[in-house]
Amino acid sequence: MGPQPGELVLQAPARGRPPQHLLDLDAAGRRDAVVALGLPAFRADQVSRHWLGRLEDDPSTWTDLPAAVRDQITEALLPPLLTPVRALTCDGGATVKTVWRLHDGSLVESVLMRYRATASSRERTTMCISSQAGCGMNCPFCATGQAGLTRNLSTAEIVEQALAGARSLARGDVAGGPGRVSNIVFMGMGEPLANYRSVVGALHRLCDPAPSGLGLSARGITVSTVGLVPRIRELAGEGLPVTLAVSLHAPDDELRDTLVPINTRWKVSEVLDAAWEYAATTKRRVSIEYALIKDVNDQAWRADLLAKRLRGKLVHVNLIPLNPTPGSKWTASRPEDEREFVRRLEAGGVAVTVRDTRGREIDGACGQLAARVSDENA
Q: Which of 277, 289, 366, 376 is catalytic?
A: 366
* Calpha distance 368→324 (Å, rounded): 7
Per annotation, catalytic residue among 56, 75, 109, 346: 109
Tally of CB atoms within 10 A around 38: 7
| Residues ≥6 apart with Cβ < 8 Å to 35 | 41
Determine whether 191 is an active site residue.
no
Mark 261-279 as b/e (b = at least 16 C-beta within 10 Å): bbbeebbbeebbebbeebb
The β-bridge partners of 353 are 318
Q: Is 366 a catalytic residue?
A: yes
Question: Torsion angle, CA of 301/307/310/314, rounded to 10 degrees?
Answer: 160
Burial bucket for residue 218 (CB in 10 Å: 0-12, 13-18, 19+): middle
Q: Active-site residues: which are they?
A: 109, 366
